[in-house]
A and B are shown apart, each in its own frame.
Chain A
Amino acid sequence: GQNIDQPTEMTATEGAIVQINCTYQTSGFNGLFWYQQHAGEAPTFLSYNVLDGLEEKGRFSSFLSRSKGYSYLLLKELQMKDSASYLCAAYSGAGSYQLTFGKGTKLSVIP
């Protein structure tokens, strides 16, 4: 089976740095995705980690440790528009490219 855990809510200050953690227990793990979802909208792709280490994309970075079943999303120089839910999803690597999603972390950025 698949199990994805991430905090339900987080609050951070504009301009600060925030780290959103995700732990997973899956069979046949082959990668970890992060998506951003603003209220009432569809999720949008942020990052995809296959190998251990840090992937950086502008203000957003994502880290993966396959041996620990752990990932985090790092958001720097927070802006008010970063207030959203952040979804962690594990990819099983089967031919159907199925993802198992966590319940999401609702991030509130305050002035």
Chain B
Amino acid sequence: SQTIHQWPATLVQPVGSPLSLECTVEGTSNPNLYWYRQAAGRGLQLLFYSVGIGQISSEVPQNLSASRPQDRQFILSSKKLLLSDSGFYLCAWTGKNIQYFGAGTRLSVL
């Protein structure tokens, strides 16, 4: 069976610090992968998606970036965090047209 791992679960970072969130999928090959952000009281916002290694599409211009160094690994990064980057970050993959989410990372930028 397929599983998706996302870590860390919670993160508190100072403004201006770097960020690296990692997501891995097991039990499938060449999955579509996604990063979403959910700010308090708001809907899920698609940040990046990837259909293959090294292929990244950005949906929202911002100070975040994504990379897919391996088939089942998706990384969300920032060189300098802003206060507005606080939120709940979710990684997802698509299996048989259905998107399945990781447990999420709650990021607080102070």
Binding site for B on A (CB under 8 A): 4, 31, 33, 40-45, 48, 87, 89, 91, 95-104
Contact = CB atoms under 8 A, between A and B. Distances in A.
A64 to B, nearest CB: 15
Contacts of A103: 42-43
11 contacts: A41-B103, A42-B102, A42-B104, A43-B44, A44-B101, A45-B99, A95-B51, A96-B57, A97-B32, A99-B99, A100-B46
Contacts of B7: none
Given A43-B44, A87-B43, A103-B42, A96 B51 contact: yes
Contact residue range for chain B?
A: 10 to 19
Contacts, number: 45
Given A96-B49, A96-B57, A97-B32, A91 B100 contact: no
Closest 6 CB pairs of A and B: A103-B43, A42-B101, A101-B44, A97-B94, A42-B104, A101-B43
A104 B57 CA distance: 25
A103 B104 CA distance: 17
Given A4-B43, A97-B94, 8 more contacts: A33-B98, A42-B103, A42-B104, A43-B101, A87-B44, A97-B32, A98-B46, A102-B43
A28 to B, nearest CB: 14
